[in-house]
A and B are shown apart, each in its own frame.
Chain A
Amino acid sequence: MQIWEKLLEKAFGGQDVAAAPDVKKENIWPLAPAVAGSTMICEKFSEEVNNATTSNKHITWLFLVGSAGNGKSELAKLVADATNGKLEDYNSKYAQRKYRYQVESGVSLDIINDATIPPEVKDNNSGFLLNDIYESIDKKSYLLGCINRGILLKEKKHIIDNLAERNDIEDLACELIDFLLESENEYKAVHINDNYHKVTYFNNASFEHDGFSITVNVIYMDQASLLEDEVIHQFLEHEEGHSPVELGKYKVRLFEKNSLDRKQTPAFKLATNVVSLVDKDTKWQDSEIQSPLQANLEFFREEKLLNGWLNILRSAEICSGSRYTYRDLWGILVLSLVGTFRSEYRKTSNTGGYVNPKEWVDALVNKVEMGGTLEDVSTLANMRIHMSIFGEDPIYASTHSKENAESGFSAIKSLLRVDPISDSTPDSEVAVAVKDAMDALAYDDLPSSYLFTPESGYEKAWTVFDSWVERKVIDAIKETKKDNERRQYEAWLGRYLYRLYALASGHPAFFKVVKEWVEAWNRANENRDLQDVLTLGLEQLISGSLKSTSRDSILLPVLSPKADVFTDMSSQPYLALKIPSVFSFLPRNQGDHVIIAINNQNNPVAKVPLDFPLCREILVNSNPEPGFTELSHLASPRIERVRAAMLTDNYVKASDEQGMRRHDLVVMHSGNNPISIYTKEG
């Protein structure tokens, strides 16, 4: 099968299936390291299994927890392949829930490959994972478990509903489920290793059973990004067959202009390996017009441009608050190389499969060479990387629309959010550069010649194909007699240039918001305070309109439905509590997330996740002239609840106990000075 057809299998909604330990499917694609250094840990695990002896009283278990497409099954296959063992009782051609290997050394290894598949023999509808755990405990097997979080929740529910009375082994298994869910329980049988409690992608515990000691490692594969540097672990000397691990640190790279370097990331490795494979396998036809697919491949050959692409992907992760799985990355890579998946790529015959997209595009190129319309130019242009990943933008659409995007996939939706077009404010250097370049049209000059210059460093992003598109559109601009058409073509060309320039330079929409978020993550990682700009904005958001005249306290309406000041409320007097306000904001990491702990006079008020809507809202409020954004409605309920939290009995009691505050009940009335009803000295 041609490589381009194979690529389509990896597209969003493609027919590629997950790996399984036993499936000897031909895999032509290179593999890249799994998230959070889990590949290393799995390799070490296989080594331990192979070196184990039946006299060992120590067994290791490893759980990989995360969502579908994270590469768990690939890791399970890796472990199965690396283990010198024989598969027991195997008679299915389909991927199974669980496999048992008899290792040469005499020990056994259980692999739960896909906990979402129910077992072939079942008495119940749930509790399967518990059964697997009982069995591995009972048989004293090594265990590798690939588990989705949803499954853990189901098991937990099964425990609550059906296992009120439990025997010892059930108790143990239930505690293990709690441990995997990171529940803050009192553990009796399972001993949790505190050394790892700061590492959110890893956990370690141990328990004893029947003279055996079992160490349980768990990697949370959804807590780290594939677009950040690979985590490298160190393994210490073997201790009776198992190797304690010194975990590598997960870091989020600072987001600075001109310092893009994502070479050490798993995503970089995947993209470069895939592209070199496609490159090797592809011959391009000689034609006047370059194929947009060829232009896309050229983009990936340049390390600098590839870093820009990865930067955009990472900012999309940050703005959407989620992390791409390998399945997502593959989908985006195919989208970037081939363009939006077209219905024409699907074979109509019963056998299914895909036509070769490169040949399909080549045919279209040939047709256009014979004399194509501007619409054909637009169709080809929309196959370019910078047009497909941010949503197609046909030149004849009445307005700039993203309806053509395959918006059913949330990974694509997240990319639309960072479309550079949606943030072309005058303070964006990229926007200014493109706007200036577009002035060239007035002098009969090419805008691209001002943007993609050796000085800018992005000349390689501009291909023969792009020059052809630019020429065709400028011809259309010159030819048209209609002002509105001219404006439409000019605007489209501006967007085409803007998206490519921003992608090449790794400059997403809301660059500043992403930059500050990353800064906050790093400060949290180093136990430092929140940066000034966010501190200022957050304080302004919480207390801005409620500041008392003395500025050192806020006035919270105590009995209104919301802890806000309503404009029409000022017409009648109302009761308010005057609360001294000395806020401090401490950022904390939770995997790839940032949580801000808000304290007032050192008394905890609330914890709020710093996500994109809130970060953006804070930034627009860090200026002397506060503003609002289209996402204010998502951030303001949380801010209101932060204020309201200062009115709860729990908060007042805690601050009273600390003797730190003084709160007065006052009456607010028509803009006059508040009337104090009583003063409570702390």
Chain B
Amino acid sequence: MSRTDFFELDRPEYIVSPELYQVVLAWDIVGKKPVEDKSIGYVFRRDLVTTDPKKVKIRRMSPLDKPYEEKKRLYNHIIPENSNNYGNRQVIGDAIFSSIEGIKSSKSVSQCSVPINSYSSLLQDIRGVTGKDRPANLSKIINTMFDLGGEPYDYTASELWWKNITSDESQEWLQWIENSLSAENINNDFSLKKLISECDDKSLYQNIGCPLWMASINEGTPFSWFREAWTRLCSDEWYRGLPRRRWNDWASCVLRTAVGLGYLWEMHFYTRLVEGLVIDGANPVDIVRNATTTSVGLLSWSTESTISSRDVSSYIIQITNQGTSARNMINSLVKEDIFPSMNEEKYTSSDNGLVEWVQDCSNHISKEIKKRLSETKGKGKVSGAKNTGETIRYALLCRDPFGINADYYGLLNKRGSRYTVVEPSSEWIVVISSLLSRKPNETVRMEDVVRSLISLGLKPDYNTLVHELEKAGLTRRSHDADEALEIATGF
């Protein structure tokens, strides 16, 4: 275990498309793309009128955007049977590629394909989708968060996911689509088939483990929630129990929720930790409890107050500025050897490790250190905080509430141009509550849903939560049930 800060989480960047969270997992398994020109970036669809970014050579992969002749050649190749005239082939080909289009927000220029299988996952990469030559390593972030979810595990998040989408027991029509997408000339730069068949199904990511004190947080964390929800979603029961596209949408939902609320939790952690350290004589146990608790609710969620008081956008900006500043300060004090490294085994391998670390730090807090720590508060804009804030916001925000590519899996919703409130899209609560069950067609209880939301840092009032579950058709309010209210799984 080698840590330079508590969680070893890279600084993130705003993620443009919900499907990208899964796309990076596929690349984490197959490795780097076998092209010499590293400036090439692949994207499923990108607005044709948009100029390409300076440092990335964009390759559009969807035939829907290709010139007529090229598209014709491709379709003739990938749809060899069943229809004699090109008219039908064009309709069939267009149907395949328009059916796998992912979510697109109105302001975004790029669009991913839905990663229903390994081929469709690799029709884009993060460079092409973001248009950045050195994008943040999203797969590392996701796998790290999975690691932070608890005791060491045999698989990485990428491996669990890959195992499912490459399983060959799928329905015949899915195999038919997979065969079509595996055609050699979909990507003229290299063979996807070869890339997939030669990979060893192992993640590039190296496990870093989870400090024991973190695995022992009673209420749980967004990371422990992620570990549990992801493991369940990637189980055979859930993979076979959901329609294929739905499984992919649920996977994006779990990943976005984990990344968004995971960073929010991290920012909250650093903010409260520093706040505690500067209080003279504060009990380390209390400092740790304040820093790690989620039961206070990290985002305000209630339908019973005014829109302005429910707004979370300014809070996200404020907590990411303060959290980033606090994180920077803690890490520099460790680097300067003023604070002990949180990496030491006595801290990482004990349930009480964080309390001990805080205790040891308290012994080194001089007036000057206290001043430096105090100054992290109210610093205004902090470098790097904007990216974290945008990651949180856009991971959780409903990208488009209407239309053919509507996003049903957001947690936040915009209200007018000013406010952003916690107001889950219709399927978000379905995913969260259903994945509390080990398999489909079961029921879970209200108490379990409440507990899992608390681990995510969400604490809606009872009526709001029941209303959400009723809207999703999962339960009916019953005044005689309370915590024992039964919630059906979505499938």
Q: Please, what's the 1-or-0 string for B452-491, where 1 marks a CB less than 8 Å from any CB in chain A? A: 0000000000000000001111001111111110001011
Q: A67-B482, A321-B478 are in contact. Are A667 and B92 (CB under 8 A)?
A: yes
Complex: A410 Cα to B476 Cα, angstroms:
12
Complex: A641 Cα to B240 Cα, angstroms:
15
State whether the Cβ of B5 lies closer than 8 Å to any Cβ in chain A. Answer: no
Q: A562-B408, A649-B169 are in contact. Are A575 and B96 (CB under 8 A)?
A: yes
Among B83, B169, B171, B447, the residue within 8 A (CB) of A153 is B447
- Interface set, chain A 528-584, CB cutoff 8 A to B: 557-563, 566, 568-569, 572-575, 577
Complex: A409 Cα to B477 Cα, angstroms:
12
- A611 engages B476 (CB within 8 Å): yes
State whether the Cβ of A665 lies closer than 8 Å to any Cβ in chain B. Answer: yes
State whether the Cβ of A669 lies closer than 8 Å to any Cβ in chain B. Answer: yes
- A574 engages B491 (CB within 8 Å): no
- A411 engages B95 (CB within 8 Å): no
- Interface set, chain B 225-263, CB cutoff 8 A to A: 239-246, 249
State whether the Cβ of A251 lies closer than 8 Å to any Cβ in chain B. Answer: no
How many of chain A's residues have a CB under 8 angstroms from any CB in B? 63
Closest A residue by C-beta to B479: A410
Name the A residues within 8 Å of B484 (CB-CB).
Answer: 148-150, 152-153
Q: A149-B484, A559-B100, A678-B82 are in contact. Are A322 and B477 (CB under 8 A)?
A: yes
Q: A647-B243, A675-B91 are in contact. Are A641 and B479 (CB under 8 A)?
A: no
State whether the Cβ of A352 lies closer than 8 Å to any Cβ in chain B. Answer: no
State whether the Cβ of B98 lies closer than 8 Å to any Cβ in chain A. Answer: yes
Complex: A577 Cα to B176 Cα, angstroms:
13
Complex: A573 Cα to B100 Cα, angstroms:
12
Q: Please, what's the 1-or-0 string for B110-124, where 1 marks a CB less than 8 Å from any CB in chain A? A: 000010100000000
- Interface set, chain B 386-431, CB cutoff 8 A to A: 403-406, 408, 426, 430
State whether the Cβ of A66 lies closer than 8 Å to any Cβ in chain B. Answer: yes
Among B92, B177, B243, B480, the residue within 8 A (CB) of A644 is B243
Name the A residues within 8 Å of B490 (CB-CB).
Answer: 641
State whether the Cβ of B356 lies closer than 8 Å to any Cβ in chain A. Answer: no
Closest A residue by C-beta to B120: A559
Of the candidates B169, B249, B480, B484, the one having the most CB atoms from chain A within 10 angstroms of its own CB is: B480
Name the B residues within 8 Å of A70 (CB-CB).
Answer: 480
Closest A residue by C-beta to B237: A650
Complex: A573 Cα to B79 Cα, angstroms:
15
- B244 engages A222 (CB within 8 Å): no
- B404 engages A648 (CB within 8 Å): no
Closest A residue by C-beta to B405: A561
- B95 engages A667 (CB within 8 Å): yes
State whether the Cβ of B368 lies closer than 8 Å to any Cβ in chain A. Answer: no
State whether the Cβ of A51 lies closer than 8 Å to any Cβ in chain B. Answer: no
- A568 engages B243 (CB within 8 Å): no
Q: A150-B484, A323-B480, A669-B91 are in contact. Are A638 and B473 (CB under 8 A)?
A: yes
Q: Please, what's the 1-or-0 string for A293-324, where 1 marks a CB less than 8 Å from any CB in chain B? A: 00000000000000000000000000011110
State whether the Cβ of B166 lies closer than 8 Å to any Cβ in chain A. Answer: no
Among B242, B472, B479, the residue within 8 A (CB) of A411 is B479
Name the A residues within 8 Å of B92 (CB-CB).
Answer: 573, 667, 675, 677
State whether the Cβ of A33 lies closer than 8 Å to any Cβ in chain B. Answer: no
State whether the Cβ of B308 lies closer than 8 Å to any Cβ in chain A. Answer: no
- A572 engages B98 (CB within 8 Å): yes
- B408 engages A561 (CB within 8 Å): yes
Complex: A650 Cα to B239 Cα, angstroms:
9
Closest B residue by C-beta to A612: B476
State whether the Cβ of B108 lies closer than 8 Å to any Cβ in chain A. Answer: no
- A669 engages B479 (CB within 8 Å): no
Closest A residue by C-beta to B173: A665
- A410 engages B477 (CB within 8 Å): yes
Complex: A577 Cα to B91 Cα, angstroms:
16
5 contacts between A and B (CB under 8 A): A67-B482, A569-B404, A573-B94, A575-B95, A650-B241
Closest 8 A-B residue pairs measured CB to CB? Answer: A410-B479, A638-B473, A647-B243, A149-B484, A573-B95, A67-B480, A637-B473, A559-B99
**Contact residues of B with A, CB < 8 Å?**
82-83, 88, 91-92, 94-96, 98-100, 114, 116, 169-173, 176-177, 239-246, 249, 403-406, 408, 426, 430, 440-441, 445, 447, 470-473, 476-484, 488, 490-491
